[in-house]
Structure 1
Amino acid sequence: MMFRVLAADFLKIRRKAIWFLIFLGPFGVIALQGANYMLRYDYLMKKYAADPWGAFLGNVQYLLPVTLLLGIAIIASMVANIEHQMNSWKQLLALPITRASVFSAKFTLCMLMLFVSCLLLGIGIIGLGLGLKLGTDVPLADIVKLSFYPFIASFPILALQLWLSSTMRNQAFPLTVGILGGVVSIYAPKMPDWFLWKLPWLTNEAGKPEYSVAAGLAAGMVIFAIGLIHFTRRDVN
C-alpha cells in the first residue's frame, strides 16, 4: 500500500522545484571546493602533496553537514507542503489507505531524493578530483563513506523535520527549526555525542564515524516511530 502512495507522491513532485534543490546541493558543494582549489591550487597541492585526495575529501567534509541539514529541512517542508497548499490532507487520509502508509511514503520519498543527491555528490567528488589531477588512485571507499555516512547519520533530523512539516500547516516553524539546526551544527563538533545535530559530522569521543552512523539510524527509527504515532492519531487540516 505504501508503494502506491509513494508512486502518487512522485507524480506530485514531477514538475516541482524540489528536483532543482536535489541537484543544487551537491553542485554547490563541488563548485565551492572547485573555486577553493582554483584560487589556491599551487599552495594546496604543495601543502598536501603527501595525501592530496585525503586533504581534498577533508575540505569537502567541512561543507557537507550544514548543506545537508539545510537541504533536509527544505525538502521535508516542500514534500509536506504539497498537501498543505492543495488542502488535500483530509482527502488523502479519507482514502482506503492507512495513515502509517502516508507518513512512511513521505519519509521514503525524502530519503530517496536525498540518496540521489548524495550519489551525485560522490560522482562530483570523483570528477572534480580527477579534474584537479589529485591522482588516479581514487579512494572510492572513502568517497562512498563521505557521501553517504552523513546522510544516514542525519536520519533523526529528517524524521523530525518531516514530522513537524506534516503536522503543521504553517511551515515557518519547521523551517526555522531546520535553519537554526543547520546554523548551530557549525559548532556541533564541540557538543556532546548525544546532540543530534552533531551526528552528520561523524565525530565522537570514540573517534569512529560508524558510531555516529549507528546512532543516527537508531535515533532516526525512534523519532520516526514517535512521529508516525502522532501523525496517525492527530487530525491534520
Structure 2
Amino acid sequence: MKRLLTAEFIKIQWRLIAVLIFIALIADISLASSNWGMLSAVYEPSWPNYLMYIINLHTAFFFPLLSGTIAGLICLYEHRSGGWKQLLATPYSRSSIYLAKYAVLLCMLAIIQVLFMAAEIGSGMVAGVTGSIDWTFLVSSAVLGWIGILPLAAIQLWFSTRFKNFGIAFSINVVCVLLNIVFSGLPSALGMWFPFTLPFYTMMPQGTPFSPRVQEWSLYAMVVLSFVFYFTLGQSMFRKKSLAS
C-alpha cells in the first residue's frame, strides 16, 4: 500500500493543482473582501459573520469544484496511452489501487482546508473584522467540512475512473456545483440528499444571519451512510473495470 501511495503522489501534477488551489482561494478571498464592506454595514462586523460569508462561498462552490477537478487529475495519467491496462496488470489488487487514489484525494482536500483556514484569518484581518477569533470553531469547521466531503469525493473519484474524457466528469461536476445554489438553501433534512451540499451543511456556522437549518443527527448519519454506499459502489465498479478501458 505504501508503494501505491508513493506512486500516486509522484504522478500528481503538483504545479497545476497548486495553481488551481491558489486561484480558488484568491477567488474566495476577493469575493468575500469585496462584499464585506456592504455586509458589515448591515450585520455586525464580527468573525462569526465574516466566517459565515467566506465559508458559504467556499463550501457551495470552490471546495466541491476543486474536489472533482483533483479527482479527475488523479486519474488522468491512467486514461492516457493505456495507463489503466498497465496499472491493473500490476500485482496489487484493484481494491488497493482504488483505495490509494481515494486516500490521495482526501490528503489533497485536507491540505485545501488547512490553506483555507489561513486564508480566512489573513483576509479577515485585512478586511478589518472586529472581535476575537473562535479558534475552536475555526478548526472544527474545517475538519467537519473535510468529513462532509467524504461521500462527494467518493462519487467524484468513481466518475473520474469511469469516464475517460476528463471534460465529461468535469462538466457533470460544474453542473452539480451550480445546483448547489438551490439545494443549499433547503433545510438539511431535504438538501442533504444532494451530496454536493454535505460540506456546506457540516462546515457552516450556526447562529449567523444565513446559517442553514441543520438537523445534526440526520445530517451526520447521511454523511456516514452515503460515504459507505458511494465508496463501496465505486470500488465495486472499479473491480469490474475492463483492462482495455
For the aligned pair, the TM-score class normalised by the smaller chain equals: 0.7 to 0.9
Q: Equivalences for 1:175-190 in 2 at 5 Å?
A: 175-190=170-185
**Hey, which bits of structure 1, 4+ residues long, moved more than 6 A?**
203-206
Deviations 1:41-62 (CA, angstroms, capped at 9, x unpaired): xx5444333x611110111122
Give the Cα–Cα distance (whole angstroms) in 2 for the partners of residues 12 and 195 of structure 1. Answer: 31
**Residue 219 (structure 1) aligned to one of 211, 214, 226:** 226
**Structure 1 pair 205/115, CA: closer, same or farther in 2 (3 Å)?**
closer
**Structure 1 pair 209/137, CA: closer, same or farther in 2 (3 Å)?**
farther
Amino acid at match of 1:84: H
Aligned to 1:55: 49
TM-score of the superposed pair, with normalisation by structure 2: 0.84
Query: Which blocks of at least 5 consecutive residues in structure 1 are unaligned?
Result: none
RMSD over aligned Cα, in angstroms? 2.4
Q: Equivalences for 1:188-207 in 2 at 5 Å?
A: 188-191=183-186, 192=190, 193-202=192-201, 207=214
Give the Cα–Cα distance (whole angstroms) in 2 for the partners of residues 83 and 19 of structure 1. Answer: 21
Q: How far did residue 199 of structure 1 move?
A: 1.7
Question: Please, which moves more after superposition, 215-224 or 74-83?
Answer: 215-224
Question: Please, which moves more after superposition, 71-80 or 141-150?
Answer: 141-150
Aligned residues: 231
Give the Cα–Cα distance (whole angstroms) in 1 for the partners of residues 217 and 34 of structure 2. Answer: 31
Question: Please, which moves more after superposition, 196-205 or 8-17?
Answer: 196-205
Q: Secondary structure of 2:66's partner?
A: helix
Give the Cα–Cα distance (whole angstroms) in 2 for the partners of residues 14 and 180 of structure 1. Answer: 25
Aligned to 1:28: 27
Contact 1:30–1:121, Cα closer than 8 Å, also in 2: no
**Structure 1 pair 117/123, CA: closer, same or farther in 2 (3 Å)?**
same
Question: Please, which moves more after superposition, 182-191 or 225-234?
Answer: 182-191
Q: How far did residue 124 of structure 1 move?
A: 1.1
Contact 2:185–2:212, Cα closer than 8 Å, also in 1: no
Give the Cα–Cα distance (whole angstroms) in 2 for the partners of residues 170 and 48 of structure 1. Answer: 45
Q: How far did residue 206 of structure 1 move?
A: 6.7
Contact 1:200–1:212, Cα closer than 8 Å, also in 2: no
